[in-house]
Structure 1
Amino acid sequence: MTMRNHPPVPLRFLLVLLPLLAVASTSLARDFDFFYLVLQWPGSYCDTANSCCYPTSGKPAADFGIHGLWPNYNDGSYPSNCDPNSPYDASKVRDLLSSMREKWPSLACPSSDGTKFWTHEWEKHGTCSESVLGQHDYFQAALKLKKQVDVLQILQDAGIQPDGGDYSLKSIVSAISEAIGYTPWIECNTDEAGNRQLYQVYLCVDTSAAELIECPVLPRNSCGSRIEFPSF
């Protein structure tokens, strides 16, 4: 009978285990590097060719609402749809729903109660932060950060009002950075007349979703030197 030479048992296990450990280590190291907290001005969302629809609960307050809390990498890329086995579950955030309707409203058409919006945000972005934040913690963290940074009040204190007037982009960035100690990024969109307007404010947050930080990387600029701040 021919005898076959086999590697010692420990070596065989190592040959199988090492690649798995390497993948696991890389995965853990690359979960994400920071969050973008994205706050949206409803007046700019609605003042476009596509317009908007108010939530079934009624017209939101004239305030910046949460768009999302988005995990990102320092190289400008981001993870998405990380866990298809973790769907949005309203029962897990039941105690937050009232605050979510107020601070995280959907303006998409047709009118809705926000469930579709929150489902999208959790499944695309939130599932990529599950290593540190469960579903309840994810939504709660965004709400706490929104309360911590009152962007509208900061701008109004600097004389920048949502009155349809034009303001310099530099003055908007300076007002926010002086108030919070970190530089924001401003995203603009275009109204029906083709004017660039203040649409979203990006703030960077650490991986615990608790503290603001200086942004490691910013999206490309999408505003001119002067932008409109429409009413709502």
Structure 2
Amino acid sequence: MRLASAGRRLALAIALPALSVGTVDARAGGRPGDFDFYVLSLSWSPTYCRSRGERADPTQCSTGARAFVMHGLWPQYARGFPSDCRTTGRNPTRAQVDSMLEIMPSPGLVRHEWRTHGTCSGLDPASYFALARAANAKVTIPPAFQTADRDLDTSPGDVERAFIAVNPRLQPSMIAVQCDGGLVSEVRICMTPDLAFRPCAEIDRRACRSSRVTLPSIDQQ
């Protein structure tokens, strides 16, 4: 039995006081709230900007662009994931979208993530975004990856170990580094609906297999 209800309770509790997944095939039109766990995807922004070139979102790649940014919080099945679920609720308001720009790079990405993934969470926009902010806040970015003022040559294993070192309870089976042409593109971290770190074999199997990778600097976008 899937456990999205616990995630709904947590998101509502948080809310009241105040880049496509690419893992395995999506199941468009899944049932909102029917999933097994979440993937928190953190994108290395300079890789996106370099690989997309003129097609990149200028908001994300302008002066002052960041290093790791939140790509999204994705409901997942043990194999595969739901996508673009049909809901009867309203789309996010401009204020709700703007509330995410502290951790996500552009309004266009925020809206895309809601349409593709948020609609499958079983949550309304305000609660989903509150849960996404809580998931993002749960993960500490290693000091070496908090800026992107120079190229960093490393390995996928070293990136994982750096995250594990500063995030208690995170284990190798719960995190996967993604790469694109030898450049680190994302770090994906698996969480329960209550945002506890959890293993995810399918995500781990699709991790970067390069022996050496680079986190490019902002200056080379």
Q: TM-score, normalised by structure 1?
A: 0.68
Give the letter for the 2:116 counterpart: K
2:197 to 194, 212, 229: 212
- CA deviation map 1:202-228 (0-9, x unaligned): 0011123x3222324315133411001
Please say if residues 140 and 166 of structure 2, whose CA atoms lie closer than 8 Å, have aligned partners that are also in contact.
no
Q: Give runs of ≥4 in structure 1 deviating > 3 Å.
A: 56-61, 84-87
> Given residue 174 of structure 1, which amino acid in structure 2 is its aligned partner?
R
**1:173-211: per-residue Cα shift (whole Å, max 9, x none)?**
111123222331011113xxxxx1111000011123x32
2 CA distance for matches of 1:56 and 1:170? 27
Match of 2:58 among 48, 54, 66: 54
Give the conservation status (yes or no) of the 8 Å contact 2:69–2:103. Answer: yes
The TM-score with structure 2 as length reference comes to 0.71
Runs of at least 5 residues in structure 1 that lack an aligned partner in the other structure: 1-26, 107-113, 191-195
Q: Which has the higher contact order (CA 8 A, sep 6+)?
A: 2
The match for 1:200 among 186, 197, 200 is 186
Identity of aligned residues (%): 27
What secondary structure does 1:55 align onto? helix
Task: Indicate the RMSD between aligned Cα atoms, in angstroms.
Answer: 2.9
**Following TM superposition, by how much is the alpha carbon of 1:117 offset from its aligned partner in structure 2, in angstroms?**
2.3
User: Does the alignment pair 1:70 with 2:74?
Assistant: yes
Deviation, structure 1 residue 58: 5.4
C-alpha separation between the residues in 1 aligned to 2:199 and 2:60?
A: 37
Return the alpha-carbon distance in structure 1 between the equivalents of residues 111 and 96 of structure 2. Answer: 16
Equivalents in 2 of 1:84, 1:78: separation in Å?
Answer: 17
Any stretches of 5+ residues in structure 2 without a counterpart?
A: 1-30
1:41-190 correspondence runs (5 A) = 41-48=44-51, 50-51=53-54, 52-55=56-59, 59-74=63-78, 76-90=79-93, 94=95, 97-98=98-99, 100-106=100-106, 114=107, 116-130=108-122, 133-153=123-143, 155-156=144-145, 163-180=150-167, 181-183=170-172, 184-190=175-181
| AA at the equivalent of 1:215 | C
Corresponding residue pairs, total:
182
Structure showing greater radius of gyration is 1
CA gap 1:129/1:151 in 2 versus in 1, 3 angstroms: same
